Amino acid sequence: MKIEQTKEVIKVGIADLNFVRVPDTIRTSGLGSCVGVVVYDPIIKIAGMAHVMLPDSTSSKKKDFNHHKYADTAIPILVETLLKDGARKFALKAKIAGGAKMFSFKGKSDVLRIGERNVEAVKKCLKKYQIPILAEDVYGTNGRTIEFLPETSMLQIRTISAGSTEI
């Protein structure tokens, strides 16, 4: 008789991060200009997900800020925690989604390009760690919900007004 493991969906809030092992999955909702970053080891089947809200922590005026909110501080936490939990540095891979342009304004202000800036910051940080991005679903104008399955390394994406896809 085989003992069945129950599958749980681990949730990641806005400006938050969390970790998962098989058989569980990990999900975040409300990705507009935010970027969902999944870093995982496909053999050990362990993953971390961050819901990155802003590109750069130097914009924070507080000394004691939420490190999960920014690309430049959330991704190092993801990577270091995964390595501590048994992931292998050489095996780490990434998938990303989000970075939509949620509002349309006239003008070229950098402040209004938050989705693009988030994607750029995430890619820069992953490159620094030499973690390849195997798939991405970024930009556009619609919000997303993503769920990562460490068993298959599949990222399921539900895009508002555009249906579902897997990468």
pLDDT tens, residue by residue, 47-77: 999 999 999 998 877 778 999 999 999 999 9
> For residue 163, what pLDDT is reported?
83
Q: What share of the chain is helix, strand, coil (3-state, %, to 5)?
A: 25, 35, 40
Q: Is 34 a catalytic residue?
A: yes
Torsion angle of C-alpha atoms 13, 19, 20, 21, degrees rounded to 10: 180
What is each CA distance from 66 to 30, 54, 57, 73, in whole angstroms?
Answer: 18, 11, 9, 9
Q: Are 154 and 164 in contact (CB under 8 A)?
A: no
Every domain of the chain and the residues it spans: 9-166
The residue among 14, 5, 1 whose CA lies nearest residue 146 is 14
Q: Which residue has the tokens 């004691």?
A: 64
Question: What's the pLDDT tens digit per position in 99-149?
Answer: 999 776 655 555 568 999 999 999 999 999 999 999 999 999 999 999 999
Give the integer Cα–Cα distance in Å for 66 and 63.
Answer: 10
Three-state secondary structure call for residue 124: helix
The catalytic position among 17, 34, 37, 50 is 34
The pTM assigned to this predicted structure is 0.91
What is the distance, to the nearest Å, from the Cα of residue 76 to the centroid of all Cα atoms in its chain?
12
pLDDT above 70: percentage of residues in the chain: 90
Average pLDDT along the chain: 91
Q: What is the dotted CATH code of the domain comprising 9-166?
A: 3.30.1330.200
